[in-house]
């Protein structure tokens, strides 16, 4: 688990995320995601709840790195994506598996949970639990974007979890 900020950026190297095809079936143990926590501290009570759950976060996803961005790194990302200001803490999930030729998934990069929309820490904890359950259940899906859309439709969480459809490599490099 990576509880420190991204070391590659600190060493002056570019941190590149690139999805790739996976030739074999995906198992529950296959590394699939990179998790990023963006948190400027706007929503202190929710930030505290989220940070208290990081050991469990890692327990459920030991094969996937979790990057905790500093307040400065988080602010820099939000400065470059001002439409997300006030939505943090945000858990960004970058999917390392490139989807096949399914319709509409060619620009898919992953998804995020905007916990800053929730003011009540107990409700934020419930959303985080639901989010981690969703990732655990669907981590072997060939089309996790389809699963996200199905879940959004089922739960009506359109403003909570959003598909990262138009992410360019440049915006992902910010992380």
Query: Tell me: the pLDDT tens digits for 64-108?
Result: 999 999 999 999 999 998 888 888 899 998 888 866 544 555 567
What global pTM score does this model have? 0.73
Closest by CA to 43, choosing from 33, 51, 35, 54, is: 51
CATH 3.30.450 fits 31-173, yes or no: no
Angle at 40 between CA 36 and CA 45, to 5 degrees: 100
The pLDDT, as a whole number, for residue 19 is 60
The pLDDT, as a whole number, for residue 11 is 47
User: Which pair of tokens denotes residue 152?
Assistant: 């959004």
Please give the helix or strand (H or E) that residue 137 lies within, else none.
Answer: helix 121-138
User: CA-CA distance, 88 to 65, in Å (whole number)?
Assistant: 20
33-42, 55-64, 114-123, 143-152, range with the lowest pLDDT: 143-152
Mean pLDDT, all residues of the chain: 75
Q: Which residues pair with 114 in a beta bridge?
A: 90
């Amino acid at each position: 688990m990576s509880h420190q900020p991204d070391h590659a950026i600190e060493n002056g190297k570019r941190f590149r995320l690139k999805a790739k095809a996976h030739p074999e079936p995906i198992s529950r143990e296959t590394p699939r995601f990179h998790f990023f926590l963006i948190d400027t501290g706007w929503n202190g009570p929710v930030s505290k709840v989220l940070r208290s759950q990081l050991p469990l976060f890692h327990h459920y996803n030991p094969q996937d790195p979790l990057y905790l961005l500093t307040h400065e790194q988080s602010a820099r990302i939000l400065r470059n994506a001002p439409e997300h200001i006030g939505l943090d803490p945000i858990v960004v999930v970058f999917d390392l598996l490139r989807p096949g030729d399914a319709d509409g998934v060619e620009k898919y990069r992953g998804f995020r949970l905007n916990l800053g929309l929730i003011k009540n820490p107990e409700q934020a904890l419930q959303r985080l639990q639901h989010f981690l359950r969703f990732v655990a259940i669907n981590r072997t899906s060939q089309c996790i974007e389809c699963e996200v859309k199905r879940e959004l439709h089922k739960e009506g969480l359109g403003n909570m979890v959003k598909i990262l459809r138009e992410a360019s490599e440049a915006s992902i490099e910010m992380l």
